[in-house]
Amino acid sequence: MPRPLRSLRNRLAVIFGLIVLSAIGIVYFSVAPQLQGRLSDQKSSELVADSRRFTGPIEQVLGTDLPKEVVEGRTRLAAARASAEVIVLGVVGGTQSQVFVHVDSTPDGGLDFEDVRAVAERALRTRQTATATADTRLGSQALAARPLFGPDGARGVVVYADALSDVQANVSLIRRQILASGAVALLIALVAGYLVARALSARIARLEQAARKVADGDFSNPIRADSDDELGQLAAAFNDMQNQLARLDRARKQFIASASHELRTPIFSLGGFLELLADEDLDEATRREFLAHLQSQVERMRKLTTELLDLSRLEAGALELRPEPTDVGRLTRDVTREFTPALTQHGSKVEMKVTDPVEADCDPERVAQVVRILLDNALVHTPAGTPIVVSAARHDGHVRLEVSDGGPGIKRHNMPHIFEPFFSSDDDAQGAGLGLAIARELAGTMRGELRVRSTPGRTTFTLDLPG
């Protein structure tokens, strides 16, 4: 059974609708009652003001010997001026506890005595004008009771009353308008929310389709970033990720092809020499020569597999460093001495430029590995007799190691690729071309940097390490 709310556009449309519905409910159940209360208070305030303005003539005749008709006439006049019903209550025996209706401006259809009794007694008790609302047979009424006192005590209470029907009508009209406007706003919110959500869903669907293609290995469909909003930024980030994955995929395929090629060559060579060694008529000198070739190919495979393992561990971040206080200058001298036989065979001389102790907190084994790679690279890619300079010193708070050679230099078009795995600028050089790639990864793992600068007659590899 389909679930409509699983769709993002439906959920967003519902959310928009709920927000508008909540706003309508707040206005309807909070603002409207407050408005009704304020209008009722305003009506009561107007009655209090009318009681101050129009009660004077009644007060002059109330409690005197003048005929009741005089009080009635002035009461009707006050009612006409205030546009309200006016009731004059008398006090029995001068006390404040018993009141009665003395004059009513609207005796036929006006307020009942019980409607005004409570507010009149409260006004007498507090000696101040009191206000109230009462539910009468005429509907809700606003009341304002003004007490009248003379030298001998309470003389009476004048109550002004006005219907609240106009207030209720206005509030009811406002509520109907709120409901009508809210219904229109709710409909607009639902439609707009659905359309906006559908547009967002379409853009997200394009990202989903592109992600599925990337998961299947297809990196040829970039996402068009058609805006600068969050989804546009996500599309741009997705394109960057797709480009990086494409480069990584090409690098992986190239790496596998290069590694396979590098391993296939010595394996084929080993197979050929083993077939030749199986010949029983082979003389001893030739046999020893073939065995020497076998040994060299085995050594080549051992070095290649070791380098592949080191490079994979570095790229995976699985290489564990063991830093300790190290004299990098002394370490460089020791590593250089290891190359004495190779240097002698190559006919090259090494100039050491290490004067003072160069202390650093580093992994001596990995630093030595980088120096070995750089010295081996200098011997492999330079003509016999090329001078080599090895230096170690402090520079701007860092430890700097340099290996320079006086060879022909690196061609400009090869410079961007010099640290790539399996790259070699010399077709006749021995090795898989992994050494400099491993050295660069080792430098980065040690929070250092390996750089190269080359001109005809001088190539210098520089390793900077934190001091």
Domain spanning 230-316, CATH architecture: Orthogonal Bundle (1.10)
Contact of 116 with 94, CB cutoff 8 Å:
no
**Of the ranges 127-131, 276-280, 331-335, 359-363, which one carries the lowest mean pLDDT score?**
276-280
Write down the pLDDT at residue 432: 55
Q: For the residues 46-75, what does the mean pLDDT come to?
A: 86
Q: How large a percentage of the chain has pLDDT more than 70?
A: 81
Sign of CA dihedral 70, 76, 80, 84: positive
Contact of 435 with 376, CB cutoff 8 Å:
yes
CA distances from 459 to 218, 344, 375, 377, 455 (A): 41, 21, 12, 11, 6
Q: For the residues 357-385, what does the mean pLDDT come to?
A: 88
CATH classification code of 10-169: 3.30.450.20
Contact of 370 with 463, CB cutoff 8 Å:
yes
The pLDDT tens digits of the residues spanning 130-161 come to: 998 888 877 888 899 999 887 777 888 999 98
Q: For the residues 250-272, what does the mean pLDDT come to?
A: 64
Write down the pLDDT at residue 463: 92
Is residue 187 pLDDT above 70, yes or no? Answer: yes
Q: At what angle do helices 165-215 and 32-54 cross, to 10 degrees?
A: 160
CA distances from 444 to 72, 84, 255, 395, 433 (A): 107, 93, 20, 18, 19
Q: How large a percentage of the chain has pLDDT more than 90?
A: 9
The pLDDT tens digits of the residues spanning 92-114 come to: 765 445 788 888 888 776 677 88
Dist CA 452 CA 459 (whole Å)? 7
The pLDDT tens digits of the residues spanning 321-356 come to: 888 999 988 999 998 998 888 888 889 899 999 877
Beta pairing, strands 388-395 & 350-353: parallel
Dist CA 60 CA 71 (whole Å)? 9
Q: What is the mean pLDDT of the chain?
A: 79
The pLDDT tens digits of the residues spanning 383-435 come to: 999 999 999 988 888 899 999 999 888 888 888 888 877 676 654 445 456 77
Stronger pLDDT, 305 or 143, i.e. the higher one: 143
| Residue from 184, 218, 444 nearest 314 by CA | 444
Q: For the residues 160-169, what does the mean pLDDT come to?
A: 83
The CATH classification of domain 324-466, taken from the options 1.10.3720.10, 3.30.980.20, 3.30.565.10, 3.40.50.2300: 3.30.565.10
Confidence label for 258 from pLDDT (cuts 50, 70 and 90): low
Helix (H, G, I), strand (E, B) or coil at 113: helix
Write down the pLDDT at residue 313: 67
Write down the pLDDT at residue 109: 63
Q: What are phi and psi of 434, to 5 degrees?
A: -100, -15
Write down the pLDDT at residue 120: 87
Contact of 390 with 402, CB cutoff 8 Å:
yes
Write down the pLDDT at residue 389: 94
CA distances from 430 to 298, 336, 433 (A): 14, 20, 8
The pLDDT tens digits of the residues spanning 218-229 come to: 777 777 666 676
The single-letter code of the amino acid at 449 is E
Dist CA 41 CA 57 (whole Å)? 26
In the numeric block, which tokens belong to residue 204? 């997200």
Write down the pLDDT at residue 273: 67
Dist CA 58 CA 77 (whole Å)? 9
Is residue 200 pLDDT above 50, yes or no? Answer: yes
First-to-last CA distance in the chain?
67
Stronger pLDDT, 151 or 9, i.e. the higher one: 151
- Averaging pLDDT over each range in 294-298, 376-380, 416-420, which range is the top one? 376-380
Q: Please report, for the chain, the start and end positions of each structural domain, with discontinuous segments joined by +.
A: 10-169, 230-316, 324-466
Is the backbone of residue 124 left (phi > 0), alpha (psi -120 to 50) or beta? alpha
3-state helix, strand, coil in the chain (%, to 5): 60, 20, 25
Is residue 66 pLDDT above 80, yes or no? Answer: yes
Confidence label for 198 from pLDDT (cuts 50, 70 and 90): confident
Write down the pLDDT at residue 428: 47
In the numeric block, which tokens belong to residue 443? 């430098």
| Residue from 91, 88, 89 nearest 74 by CA | 88
Confidence label for 318 from pLDDT (cuts 50, 70 and 90): low
